[in-house]
Amino acid sequence: MTAAEGLVQERIWFDKPRYDEAERQFYARMNGPTQHKQDTGANSILQDIARARENIQKSLAGLKTTLQPSRGSAPKISNPSHRSSPSGGDGAADYGELKARMKNLELENQSLHKVVEDLRSALSKMESRVSALEKRSIRPAVNGTSPAPPQKAPPTPAKEEEEDEDEDDIDLFGSDEEVDKEAERLKEQRLQEYAAKKAKKTALIAKSSILLDVKPWDDETDMAKLEECVRSVQVDGLLWGASKLVPVGYGIKKLQINCVVEDDKVGTDFLEEEITKFEDYVQSVDVAAFNKI
């Protein structure tokens, strides 16, 4: 299939002006009647585009009627030598006319591209102007400014005398000391209230639960006496709890005793030192468990 026959079968250009006209009407409705004066240049450009496209459509329609074969007979495609030979006069004339029309279409296409570019530039300029106008209208509201209030009329002499008397009654120097004294009094009162509230609050005491393993020397050690020695350790912040004997092996039992201590007053090192002082009964002291309360 030659380029001319392919161009004849192409149908997109025949319906395109309708779509362009519909698009133009859509944008005309979107812009509204208030922008009619601003869009006159754009409308004239769109009319030029529509006229150019109508000319293209007419040219293609004439080309189609020229190259369309008659009904009932299939088109016969001959080789290029027969098509360009001088013996086929009608074919050569049609080919020359087709070539001329194709050149005209190319020129019109170029001019159409130029018109479209001009239209785009005009629309971009119009959009920039509209955006600039919108920014100018929004800027006073954003900045929080308002129109200048109307100027007041100058006061009469009687009003000026009354204002002068009111200003004379105002003490501009004695009020600062009174304000300072009042502020100091309020400050001291609030500090006293805060100190009283802080004194009423009871401080939280950190406590811990400790489980000790006290091991004797051998199985002949008196475990009752050993427990008595351990409980004899009494200091502020120490409270002994339950105890039991746990078998270790070979008949030897260890004393497992619980106690609650205040972290700021009693520590594990202190307990180990005090309990190991009973050398006749205690071999060693280990901390089996340590938990914060």
Question: What residue ranges do the domains of the chain occupy?
Answer: 210-292
pLDDT digits (tens, 9 = 90+) for 27-46: 888 886 544 444 566 677 77
Are 15 and 51 contacting, i.e. CB atoms less than 8 angstroms apart?
A: no
**pLDDT for res 75:** 45
Pairwise CA distance, residues 143 & 292, whole Å: 60
Residue with tokens 């329609």: 61
Mean pLDDT of the 15-35 span: 77
Pairwise CA distance, residues 224 & 255, whole Å: 9
Q: Is 45 exposed, middle or buried (0-12, 13-18, 19+ CB in 10 A)?
A: middle
| Res. 261: pLDDT tops 70 | yes
| Res. 191: pLDDT tops 60 | yes
| Confidence grade of residue 195 (pLDDT, cut at 50, 70, 90) | confident
**pLDDT for res 286:** 93
**pLDDT for res 246:** 92
CATH architecture of 210-292: 2-Layer Sandwich (3.30)
141 vs 25: which has the higher pLDDT: 25
**pLDDT for res 224:** 92
| Confidence grade of residue 232 (pLDDT, cut at 50, 70, 90) | very high
Mean pLDDT of the 235-254 span: 91
| Res. 74: pLDDT tops 70 | no
**pLDDT for res 228:** 93
Question: Of 286, 291, 290, 213, whose CA–CA distance to 252 is shortest?
Answer: 213
pTM above 0.95, yes or no: no
| Res. 64: pLDDT tops 90 | no
| Res. 199: pLDDT tops 60 | yes
What average pLDDT does the chain have?
Answer: 76
Mean pLDDT of the 143-167 span: 54
